[in-house]
């Protein structure tokens, strides 16, 4: 049954360094999603391992090392969004993992142009600005990892009267 969900979004070090934080967060709010928790932090190797616990198995150790290393390279901004089918809607707003395959109008399609071939040839992680939970179960795990219950808030926005 479709319903109200919560999902994690992390603005990666490239988004923070490029000064895109406000513009990217606005995209989610413009779509009717509500920010119910937010924080800025630099993650360490232990936290990266917890977040990307299965990446080495799925994509290989070198991919894990590149992504985990990049995520530790500077501050990130993590936030929890709430809304109708939030997980799928955030994934749609973010676009394909590989920015050159993401349609215009998505975050990655509008702000990044890196390709899978370029990153592989140059042994670089895909700098695609944002991490978004891939499914409802992953969202639950990630929200619980990044935020304690007292860091998440229930409140009503004016837009909710018209959205939900």
- Candidates 51, 113, 123, 131; catalytic one: 131
The residues facing 35 across adjacent strands are: 81
Residue 51 appears among annotated catalytic residues: no
Which residues 6+ apart lie within 8 Å of 11 measured at CB? 20, 21, 24, 25, 76, 77, 78, 79, 129, 130
Report how far apart, in Å, the C-alpha atoms of 131 and of each of 65, 79, 121, 154, 164 are.
16, 11, 22, 23, 25
Catalytic residue annotation: 131
């Amino acid at each position: 049954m479709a319903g109200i969900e919560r999902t994690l979004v992390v603005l990666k070090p490239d988004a923070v360094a490029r000064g895109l934080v406000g513009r990217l967060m606005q995209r989610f709010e413009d779509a009717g999603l509500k920010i119910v928790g937010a924080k800025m932090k630099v993650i360490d190797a232990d936290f990266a391992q917890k977040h990307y616990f299965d990446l080495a198995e799925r994509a290989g150790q070198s991919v894990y090392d590149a992504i985990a290393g990049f995520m530790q390279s500077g501050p990130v901004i993590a936030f929890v969004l709430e809304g109708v089918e939030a997980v799928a809607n955030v994934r749609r707003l973010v676009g394909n993992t590989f920015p050159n395959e993401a349609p215009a109008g998505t975050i990655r399609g509008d702000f990044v142009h890196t390709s899978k071939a370029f990153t592989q040839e140059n042994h670089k992680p895909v700098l695609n600005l944002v991490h978004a939970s891939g499914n409802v179960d992953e969202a639950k795990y990630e929200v619980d990892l990044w935020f304690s219950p007292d860091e998440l808030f229930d409140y009503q926005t004016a837009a909710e009267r018209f959205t939900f």
